[in-house]
Amino acid sequence: MRTTKEIRESCSKEIAELQQVCDHSEKQWMLYSWADGHFTGKICLVCLLCEKELDSEELPIEWLHYDPVTVDDKGVWYLPESHLEKYIKEKNKPIGRC
Ligand SMILES: [Zn+2]
């Protein structure tokens, strides 16, 4: 029977091999957090196939604060899309082709 340590090492080696041969054809910018809800102030371009970090970008600290809950003209409460969310959405827009 293999130990957990041996299984972890084997999986890490397989992932490293996958990341070397992957063409990273599917990628997305996303928030980089050290735990759920704990944003580091960095966004990363990550391959969706092999999960390799391809690029990263530090963001201004003031972008980490969300706007307060707002009420629309019909009296419905909502949380406005933050500047950070808009920025990531714009970076993930597909590039047009001629
Ligand atoms: Zn990849």
Segment 57-68, tens digit of pLDDT: 998 877 776 666
The model's pTM is 0.70
* Residue 49, number of CB atoms within 10 A of its CB: 14
Q: Give the bridge partners for 29, in sequence order.
A: 45
**Å from CA of 9 to ligand 1 middle:** 20
Residue 3: what pLDDT?
A: 97
**Å from CA of 10 to ligand 1 middle:** 19
Structural tokens at position 82: 């933050």
**Å from CA of 27 to ligand 1 middle:** 8
Higher pLDDT, 88 or 66: 88
Q: Which residues contact 38 (CB under 8 A, 6 or more apart)?
A: none
The chain-wide mean pLDDT, for the chain, equals: 87
CA-angle at 39, arms to 37 and 41, nearest 5°: 165
